[in-house]
């Protein structure tokens, strides 16, 4: 076994190189991302998530909303997301830096929700959208489904917190 050391070194490199390339390099690029101002002295974005929105995310996950809705706006050259009004600018990694659980989604049966909070007219339109013509009406009580349950209230707060309508260092809004 005179080549044992070469063999072991080869196995080590075969594990260490991909680990370095995939894990460490993404940690270096993205791990330190936090809130930042678009220009010096400006307000920090993204905003911190309200507690109710964090609760609402667990409802969003438990009801499987992510199986039909993405939360990522593609740049103009890679799809028609911006033309469709899904967002004011493409999504960037920093947009998700404050989110405990990032729900990008990979199937888009319904509209992208990354910037839904910015385009939702008011709270009652959010509650109307949640119901999907009856599919999720069980979250509401009353003859016209006008009484929102605790889960629906949290879910609406989560949807209203989804906004990518600010400038950040990587993604400036067009003036």
Which residues make up the interface to ligand HEC (CB under 6 A)?
A: 60, 63-65, 67-69, 109-111, 113, 116, 129-130, 132, 136, 155, 159
Smallest distance from ligand HEC to CB 131, Å: 9
Please, which residue, 129 or 153, has the CB nearer to ligand HEC? 129
Q: What is the largest CA-CA distance in the chain?
A: 82
Please, which residue, 97 or 130, has the CB nearer to ligand HEC? 130
Smallest distance from ligand HEC to CB 158, Å: 8
Please, which residue, 29 or 101, has the CB nearer to ligand HEC? 101
CB-nearest residue to ligand HEC: 110
Residue 79 zone, left/alpha/beta (φ > 0; ψ -120 to 50; rest): left
Give, in order, the Cα–Cα distances in Å from 169 to each of 75, 77, 78, 79, 89.
16, 20, 21, 23, 13
Give yes or no for a contact between 153 and 52, defined as CB atoms under 8 angstroms apart: yes
Please, which residue, 94 or 127, has the CB nearer to ligand HEC? 127
Q: Could you tell me the sign of the dihedral formed by the alpha carbons of 54, 171, 44, 127, in that order?
A: negative
Cα Rg of the chain, angstroms: 21
Smallest distance from ligand HEC to CB 105, Å: 10
Smallest distance from ligand HEC to CB 49, Å: 16
């Amino acid at each position: 076994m005179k080549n044992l050391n070469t063999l072991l070194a080869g196995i080590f490199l075969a594990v260490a190189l991909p680990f370095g390339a995939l894990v460490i390099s993404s940690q270096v690029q993205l791990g330190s991302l936090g809130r930042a101002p678009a220009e010096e002295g400006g307000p920090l974005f993204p905003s911190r998530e309200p507690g109710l929105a964090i609760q609402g995310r667990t409802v969003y996950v438990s009801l499987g909303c992510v199986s039909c809705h993405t939360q990522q706006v593609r740049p103009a050259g890679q799809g028609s997301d911006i033309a469709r009004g899904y967002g004011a600018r493409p999504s960037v990694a920093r947009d998700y830096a404050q989110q405990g659980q990032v729900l990008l989604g990979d199937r888009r049966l319904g509209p992208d929700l990354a910037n839904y909070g910015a385009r939702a007219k008011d709270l009652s339109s959010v509650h109307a959208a949640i119901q999907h013509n009856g599919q999720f009406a069980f979250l509401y009580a009353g003859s016209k489904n006008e009484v929102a349950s605790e889960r629906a209230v949290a879910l609406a707060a989560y949807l209203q917190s989804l906004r990518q309508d600010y400038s950040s260092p990587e993604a400036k809004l067009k003036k």
